[in-house]
Amino acid sequence: MARLRHVLAMPFPAQGHVTPLLKLAHLIAEHGVKVTFINSIVIQDKLMSARPELFEDQSQLRFVALPDGMDSDEDRKDANTWVERYAAAVSPRLQELIKKINDPDGDDEKIDCVIGDVTAGWALEVAVSLGIAAVGFWPAGASCLLLQLHIPKLIKEGVIDEDGIPLRNTTIKISDKIPAWSSDGLTWSNIGDPTQQRALFGFVKSIIEYAKHTNIFLCNSFIELEPSAIEIIPGILPVGIPAPPPSLTEEEEEKKTR
């Protein structure tokens, strides 16, 4: 396999998505690979305010901000509208940016891989349309991704309807090695507002379609934490780092050496 030269990384524009992919981007850059990290302008401004040191040296890791399709005075609390507008605004600009970087007459290192948050799957769509390797990134645990990838099966088996609403009180068991989920405790069924629930579930279902654009998933987990879930998902690669064991006190160290 040829060595990567330039990776474009695009998270979904929310803190729980930006932070883990940014950490991964730093690790990739430390291996000598150039990384272009895409943010929305709103997220970029917040990041620059909170972590200005990140933008001091952009030789290996550089940041590019793209508009999210919303006017400055518009309410971004309507997540459904905002996500639709963001996807529509970002996709053509992202394609234009990649084409510009990959111009044969350009001086920049050509992008040969796009790592896109599966929740922001339009980045994967753009990569595939341009013939560039597309790698999905999942910022949460493998078990959560596993459940969402099984949504079509849950609908087919009559556990939930097309809006994600449980049709019967039961437990959802995907594998004997993984604890079952309660049908009334699914992520999208705890909203309390039927309209918002349908919107959220539609958003969750889109992940299934976006996931079809890649056969590699980088997951923010590690094998010791979720071996059974990681084993079930084809093409998944856990890239999380286990926390180091807690340091022993002097008293504990002394007992250990006795």
Write the burial class of residue 80 (CB in 10 Å: 0-12 exposed, 13-18 middle, 19+ buried): middle
Cβ-based neighbours of 176, under 8 Å, separated by 6 or more: none
Asked if residue 110 belongs to a domain, the reply is yes
Instruction: Report the run of H or E that residue 127 belongs to, with start and end.
Output: helix 122-129
Domain count, the chain: 1
8 A C-beta contact, residue 90 and residue 39: no
Report the predicted TM-score, pTM, of the whole model to 2 decimal places. 0.86
pLDDT at residue number 99: 94
Which CATH number do you get for residue 95?
3.40.50.2000
Length of the chain: 258
* Structure confidence at residue 250 (pLDDT): 61
Q: pLDDT per residue over 8-44, tens digit each?
A: 999 988 878 999 999 999 999 999 999 999 998 888 9
Q: Rounded to an integer, what distance in angstroms lies between the CA atom of residue 55 and that of residue 19?
A: 15
Contact residues for 202 (Cβ-Cβ < 8 A; gap 6+): 80
69 located within any domain: yes
- Residue 127 inside a domain? The answer is yes
Query: Quick check: 7 and 132 in contact, CB under 8 A?
Result: no
User: Could you list the residue range(s) of the whole structural domain that residue 96 is in?
Assistant: 1-139
Residue 123 near residue 206, CB atoms below 8 Å: no
Is the residue at 83 inside a domain?
A: yes
Residue 193 lies in a domain: no
**Residue spans of the chain under pLDDT 50:** 1
Q: Give pLDDT, residue 243.
A: 63
pLDDT score for 38: 95
For residue 57, what pLDDT is reported?
A: 78
Residue 217 CB partners (closer than 8 Å, separation 6+)? 118, 135, 136, 137, 138, 145, 211, 233, 235, 236, 237
* The pLDDT value given to residue 36: 96
Q: Name the β-bridge partners of 10.
A: 116
Within-domain flag for 43: yes
Instruction: Mark residue 73 as left, alpha or beta (left: phi above 0; alpha: psi -120 to 50; beta: remaining).
Output: alpha
Question: How high is the pLDDT of residue 205?
Answer: 86
Has residue 99 been placed in a domain?
yes
* Residue 209 lies inside a defined structural domain of this protein: no
Q: What integer pLDDT is reported at residue 86 of this predicted model? A: 82
Please tell me the predicted confidence (pLDDT) of residue 252.
Answer: 60
